[in-house]
């Protein structure tokens, strides 16, 4: 049942990289609420200072401003740490197509630095963010681990390489690594601003401001949208998983399938708006449909997501109504 009852040894310390970001800051908050010590690492390239500042009031939280591309920073961050939750990365398929070299530096080299620092510091578990994008052009639904196609973007390739390094670090060095293939995560603190913003927060913000959102393609593409609470559960359960489950990657989703045009109409109804969208071209490198088979994570990690899309989207809408000003660019 969820993650509120998960327990770790007293005095356990977690390192969350990308801790000023959407997923990272939610992980920090959840672990602090469970009563454990957390160290955060972020360079604010995509994260927000207010996500850190709002949590620093907790005496169990320590923050390091630094870059995972620097091995020395990673070594320092891993000192005395039991569990690493590695979320630091650059997302966005379209941006990776524009900036492949930067994605190589951050998502591959930075992740390798973190694994090596975790190994040298005797970390118990290394849990890292992968992505459903590794399935590439594999057409069959639901997506199942072990049945991947050709990747369609530099971003997807970086995540596939991370998974291969994860396998090697478990096999060669005995570092328990767990790759979490996130499927379209959404929820509180997800940034609605910028050209590469995720679709749900972007739509919510635009509709609240009475603007016409652009839907890329015909709106009939589908995704397994996954609420942030399910992702927190997966990370913490991976930290408690057996070593037999290490060195592998797992689908982390709700196991549902939502069509983009249906989500748009749900948002219209929930917000009491009547605004027609603009239909634009398909996004380069995007897959048409995505839906996860989560049975492996259920079996190996004990993952049992409690937050359906409907429950999550209503919670997210409430949060954005209250906090949209908090997310405005300075």
Can you give the pLDDT at residue 193? 86
Over the stretch 175-205, which tens digit does the pLDDT of each residue have?
999 999 999 999 999 988 877 678 899 999 9
Query: How many beta carbons lie within 10 A of that of residue 132, not counting itself?
Result: 24
Per the document, the length of the chain is 330
Over the stretch 87-127, which tens digit does the pLDDT of each residue have?
999 998 999 999 999 999 999 999 999 999 999 999 999 99
Q: How far apart are the C-alpha atoms of 190 and 197, rounded to whole Å?
A: 9
Could you tell me the two tokens for 257? Answer: 């399938």
Q: Structural domain boundaries of the chain? A: 13-327
The shares of helix, strand and coil residues in the chain, as percent rounded to the nearest 5, are 40, 15, 40
CB-count exposure of residue 280 (10 Å: 0-12, 13-18, 19+): exposed
Q: What number does CATH give the domain 13-327?
A: 3.40.50.720
Q: How far apart are the C-alpha atoms of 297 and 179, rounded to whole Å?
A: 11
Under 8 Å between Cβ of 253 and 183? yes
pLDDT digits (tens), the chain, 330 positions: 578 899 999 999 999 999 999 999 999 999 999 999 999 999 999 999 999 998 999 999 999 999 999 999 999 999 999 999 999 999 989 999 999 999 999 999 999 999 999 999 999 999 999 999 999 999 999 999 999 999 999 999 999 999 999 999 999 999 999 999 999 999 999 988 877 678 899 999 999 889 999 988 888 988 899 999 999 999 999 999 999 999 999 999 999 999 999 999 989 988 999 999 999 888 777 778 889 999 999 999 999 999 999 999 999 999 998 887 544 443
Q: What are phi and psi of 203, to 5 degrees?
A: -60, -45
Is-catalytic flag, 227? no
Q: How far apart are the C-alpha atoms of 54 and 84, rounded to whole Å?
A: 21
- Annotated catalytic residue within 83, 103, 135, 155: 155
Q: How far apart are the C-alpha atoms of 17 and 24, rounded to whole Å?
A: 7
């Amino acid at each position: 049942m969820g993650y509120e009852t998960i327990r770790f040894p007293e005095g356990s310390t977690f390192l969350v990289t990308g801790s000023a970001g959407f997923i990272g800051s939610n992980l920090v908050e959840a672990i602090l609420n469970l009563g454990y010590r957390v160290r955060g690492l972020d360079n604010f390239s995509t994260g927000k200072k207010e996500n850190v500042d709002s949590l620093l009031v907790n005496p169990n939280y320590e923050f390091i401003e630094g870059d995972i591309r620097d091995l020395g920073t990673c070594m320092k961050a891993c000192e005395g740490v039991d569990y690493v939750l590695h979320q630091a990365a650059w997302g966005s398929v379209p941006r990776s197509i524009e900036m492949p070299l930067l994605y190589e530096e951050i998502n591959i080299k930075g992740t390798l630095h973190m694994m090596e620092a975790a190994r040298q510091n005797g970390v118990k578990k290394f849990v890292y963010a992968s992505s459903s994008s590794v399935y590439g052009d594999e057409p069959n639904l639901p997506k199942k681990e072990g049945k991947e196609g050709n990747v369609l973007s530099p971003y997807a390739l970086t995540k596939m390489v991370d998974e291969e390094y994860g396998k090697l670090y478990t096999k060669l060095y005995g570092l328990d690594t767990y790759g979490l293939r996130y499927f379209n995560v959404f929820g509180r603190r997800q940034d609605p601003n910028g050209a590469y913003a995720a679709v749900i927060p972007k739509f919510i913000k635009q509709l609240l401001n009475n603007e016409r959102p652009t839907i890329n393609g015909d709106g009939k593409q589908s995704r397994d949208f996954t609420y942030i609470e399910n992702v927190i559960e997966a990370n913490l359960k991976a930290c408690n998983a057996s070593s037999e489950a290490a060195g592998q990657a797992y689908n982390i989703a709700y196991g549902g399938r939502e069509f983009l045009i249906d989500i748009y109409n749900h948002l219209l109804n929930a917000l009491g708006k009547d605004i027609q969208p603009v239909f634009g071209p398909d996004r380069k490198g995007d897959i048409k449909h995505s839906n996860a088979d989560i049975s492996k994570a259920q079996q190996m990690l004990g993952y049992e997501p409690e937050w359906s899309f409907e429950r999550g989207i209503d919670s997210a809408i409430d949060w954005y109504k209250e906090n949209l000003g908090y997310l405005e660019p300075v």
